[in-house]
Amino acid sequence: MADLVSNRRAYHDYEIVETYEAGIVLQGTEIKSLRDHGGSLQEAYVKVIGNELWLIGANIALYRFGNINNHEERRDRKLLMHSREISRLKAAIKEKGFTLVPLAMYLKKGRVKLKIGRGKGKKKADKRAAIKERDEKRTLQRALKNH
């Protein structure tokens, strides 16, 4: 279950508390483009509109063998989840500071799924502390490996 597209920046910018899985409504050329790893979730976000989930701002590159019927690169895409899951998500993001962030797109039984994270934005100091902690851990592992 390798990722077709991942949003590595999300783990740097947000403290992910919970993850969810949602289906996504795509056109044929979008799926073919994703299988070629032609997409980006860097500027994308998930929004609850009415009683539906939408992926907004995701970029799926044009399929290189597509003709005039090729898809629009930055269109809003509907996400598929059970209505009770959507209402649970709606309540979860009403907490102050929480948001829904797309983390990755992957294939599961031939269908494209979107991994969504419920997270809180990190402050600049938190990001620096995480980087410092990671570097310290890396140097410790290097020191242990050399001895």
Q: Is 74 helix (H, G, I), strand (E, B) or coil?
A: coil
Q: Which CATH class is domain 3-122?
A: mainly beta
What pLDDT does 21 receive?
A: 93
Cα(114)–Cα(45) distance, rounded to whole angstroms?
A: 12
Q: Is 106 helix (H, G, I), strand (E, B) or coil?
A: strand
Average pLDDT over residues 82-108: 89
- Is pLDDT larger for residue 40 or for residue 21? 21
What does residue 62 show for φ and ψ, rounded to 5 degrees? -60, 140
Cα(12)–Cα(8) distance, rounded to whole angstroms?
A: 7
- pLDDT-wise least confident of 33-37, 90-94, 122-126: 122-126
Domain chopping of the chain, boundaries? 3-122
Average pLDDT over residues 34-54: 87
- Tell me the per-residue pLDDT of 57-76, one tens digit each, with 9 for 90 and over: 988 888 888 777 787 778 89
Distances (CA, A) of 137 to 78, 134, 140: 40, 5, 5
Confidence band for 1, pLDDT divided at 50, 70 and 90: low
Q: What is the DSSP letter of 7?
A: -
- Is pLDDT larger for residue 67 or for residue 102? 102
What pLDDT does 92 receive?
A: 85
How does DSSP assign 22-72, residue by residue?
EEE---HHHHHHHHTT-EE-TT-EEEEETTEEEEES-EEPPPTT--TTPPP
What pLDDT does 53 receive?
A: 92
What pLDDT does 74 receive?
A: 81
What pLDDT does 73 receive?
A: 78
Confidence check: pLDDT of 81 > 70: yes
What pLDDT does 20 receive?
A: 92
Length of the chain: 147
Confidence check: pLDDT of 97 > 70: yes
